[in-house]
Amino acid sequence: MNDIARLRLLKEARNLSGLSLDFWVDLTEGLDQRALEILVGKSSIFPKYMNSRGKP
Is 51 within a domain? no
Is 22 within a domain? yes
> What is the total count of domains within the chain?
1
| Average pLDDT of the chain, as a whole number | 86
Mean of the pLDDT values across residues 3-15?
94
Is 54 within a domain? no
Is 30 within a domain? yes
Is 52 within a domain? no
User: Any idea what DSSP says for residue 29?
Assistant: T
Exposed/middle/buried for 36, CB within 10 Å: 0-12, 13-18, 19+?
buried
**11-36 per-position pLDDT tens digit:** 999 999 989 999 999 999 999 999 99
d(CA 51, CA 38): 24
Percent of the chain at pLDDT exceeding 70 = 84
Q: Are 37 and 19 in contact, with CB atoms under 8 Å apart?
A: no
Instruction: Give the structural domain span for 30.
Output: 3-45
Is 56 within a domain? no
Give the pLDDT score at 49: 61
Is 21 within a domain? yes
